[in-house]
Amino acid sequence: MKKIPFLSFILPTIGVLALVFGSYLVAQGQPDRPSEDPTINPPTVPGEFANKSSSSFIGAIGVTEPSTEEVSIGVNRNGIITDVLVKAGDAVSKGDLLFSQDPRAAKATIGIRQSELEFARNQLESALAEIPVLEARVKAAETQIQASKSAIGSAEAEIERFKAELADRNNRFQISESLRDSRALSKEQRDERRFAVAKARADVESATSRLKEAESRLATSEAQLVEAQAQLELYQMIRSDQTADGPIIKSRRSEVSQAEANLALAEVELEYLNVSAPFDGSILQLRARPGEFAQSGGNTTSLAIMGRLDPLHVRVQIDEVDIPKFESRMTAWASPRGAAGQRYEMNYVRTEPLIIPKRNLAGNTSELVDTRIMEVIYAVNDEAASLLAGQQVDVYLGKP
């Protein structure tokens, strides 16, 4: 069968021309896009590893931080801030006052505690002053007892002597009364012997009375001694020739100690209102303002952030797929974002033992939300490095 020239030659030619014309129209319709330099220089692999395999180095993201990490400074007590003595960027030493709160209530409490302490000390001094008085009473009672015992001995001796005299005079009187011849003794002699018996009897009765009085004084003195010793025991106890505080002195000393502790606590409460630097470092951020209400607690916004910037640390986030390649002896560089030409050498400090979820995601489709990282801490060697705390850097780790 004879082929038709139109179908075998002309129709394909028309198709090719249509394709060329369509391509031309598409090319003419494209917008004019002149080449531009990137606003931020992309990270570049260090020249040492440019011709090496990817197993020779690790690229990671890092964030600069103080060597002490960021320390949030808060307050111990709720209150109004009255004075702020620092500003962001200031270098401070440990113990330097940063800001303080209204101290009026704390100072008033200190005044009350001081008065309580003074009263307690006066009470203790009064109690201690009672000890010599009670000791004097004990000695006076002991002296009175000795005197009463001596008086008893004298009275008993007199009674014995007077009884002997009475017996003798009574015997002589009986003899005179038994004489049958009244002329043997005169009436005066008989009366004299009668009176001598009466006198001797009176002397015995008088000595007996003195004995009873001495015994009564002895009993009274012994009772006074027991009472004085009992009172003294309340202030001062004597055990094995050693003195110790009695219950009253112990109580007074305890009251003084309690008052001193209350005063010390009030002074600490006053110190709590003065917030000082916990270590040598720099003020990285300051939110405290005079007149603001500062609230204590872990969930409140920190009033200041401190940290030690010498040396500056970099917290490097190594992706979990690169963890097997990581070695602590790898050389490390850091480059600020947007300044790939600036590189600062770093020294290995430590590796955080806990693998955590990745916090900085670049938005690539290959990154998963459940990607995990290992954090490694490095110290920047270059003291002149133009890096700030909290700045993000590109990190390169290479095997030596």
Q: How far apart are the first and last CA of the chain?
A: 79
pLDDT tops 90 at residue 114? yes
pLDDT tops 70 at residue 183? no
What pLDDT does 237 receive? 82
Q: Note the pTM of the prediction, 2 decimals.
A: 0.64
Categorize the per-residue pLDDT at 362 as very low, low, confident or very high, splitting at 50, 70 and 90. Answer: low
What pLDDT does 54 receive? 60
Q: Are 60 and 397 in contact (CB under 8 A)?
A: yes
Q: What is the pLDDT of residues 302-356, one digit of tens each?
A: 899 999 998 899 999 999 999 999 999 999 999 998 887 888 999 999 999 999 9
pLDDT tops 70 at residue 18? yes
The angle that helices 247-272 and 104-178 make with each other, rounded to 10 degrees, is 170
What pLDDT does 187 receive? 64
pLDDT tops 90 at residue 28? no
Kindly report, as residue ranges, where domains of CATH 2.40.30.170 are found in the chain: 47-101+280-398
Quick check: helix, strand or coil at residue 227? helix
**DSSP 8-state assignment for residue 303:** S
If 0-12 CB within 10 Å is exposed, 13-18 middle and 19+ buried, where does residue 312 land?
buried
Higher pLDDT, 192 or 5: 192
Kindly report, as residue ranges, where domains of CATH 1.10.287 are found in the chain: 107-245
Higher pLDDT, 293 or 370: 293
What pLDDT does 69 receive? 92
What pLDDT does 129 receive? 94
b (16+ CB within 10 A) / e for 205-222: eebbebbeebbebbeebe
Torsion of CA 352, 355, 359, 364, to 10 degrees: 120
CATH of domain 107-245: 1.10.287
Average pLDDT over residues 205-219: 88
What pLDDT does 196 receive? 77
The rounded distance, in Å, linking the Cα atoms of 203 and 226 is: 34
What CATH topology corresponds to 47-101+280-398? Elongation Factor Tu (Ef-tu); domain 3 (2.40.30)
